[in-house]
């Protein structure tokens, strides 16, 4: 895919998810785990909530405020991780972090990341990596607390 087409696709997906986020909940459910993270560099705040049932992520949702990248990435994250086992989620979270840092990720993992795979473009803009990864870090932190 040409660079211009890739840039257009990136912009389109980010704007689409930021404008109409998936699994956005103005009031997060209180019957699961919840965590809030801040990115002081950009001013992003992300609140995530999830339930673990039979070692799988359910009802993963978010709310918060911030730049288009942070909001879009959170939306994409909920699409990717809802219903996944904790092990699958851990693997996909790491693959997402690797993409955002400009590292190679297998085509299979990129396919599993769905729209979120395009966020690998933030590797070109190091100041935006924290924006893209904030919600993913929140879920990772929740999962690590559950397994500690």
Model confidence, pTM: 0.92
- Show Cβ contacts of residue 142 under 8 Å, excluding neighbours closer than 6 positions: 33, 34, 35, 48, 50
Please state which of the four CATH numbers 3.40.50.450, 3.40.50.970, 1.10.3720.10, 3.90.1010.10 is assigned to the domain occupying 3-147: 3.90.1010.10
pLDDT digits (tens, 9 = 90+) for 93-144: 999 999 999 999 999 999 999 999 999 989 999 999 999 999 999 999 999 9
CA 78 to chain centre: 7
Going from N- to C-terminal start, the domains of the chain cover 3-147
Residue 145 has what pLDDT? 85
What span, in angstroms and rounded, lies between the C-alpha atoms of 71 and 91? 22
CA separation (Å) from 88 to 5, 54, 101, 117, 131? 30, 13, 20, 16, 23
pLDDT digits (tens, 9 = 90+) for 28-50: 988 889 999 999 988 999 999 99
């Amino acid at each position: 895919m040409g660079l211009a087409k890739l840039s257009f696709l990136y912009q389109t997906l980010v704007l689409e998810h930021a404008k109409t986020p998936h699994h956005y909940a103005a009031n997060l459910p209180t019957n699961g785990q919840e965590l809030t993270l801040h990115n002081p560099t950009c001013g992003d705040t992300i609140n995530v909530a999830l339930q673990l049932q039979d070692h799988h992520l359910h009802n993963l949702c978010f709310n918060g405020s911030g730049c288009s990248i942070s909001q879009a990435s959170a939306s994409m994250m909920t699409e990717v991780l809802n219903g996944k086992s904790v092990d699958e989620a851990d693997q996909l979270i790491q693959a997402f972090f690797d993409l955002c840092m400009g590292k190679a990720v297998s085509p299979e993992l990129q396919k599993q990341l769905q729209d979120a795979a395009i966020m690998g473009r933030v590797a070109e803009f190091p100041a935006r990596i924290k924006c893209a990864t904030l919600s993913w870090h929140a879920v990772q932190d929740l999962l690590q607390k559950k397994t500690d």
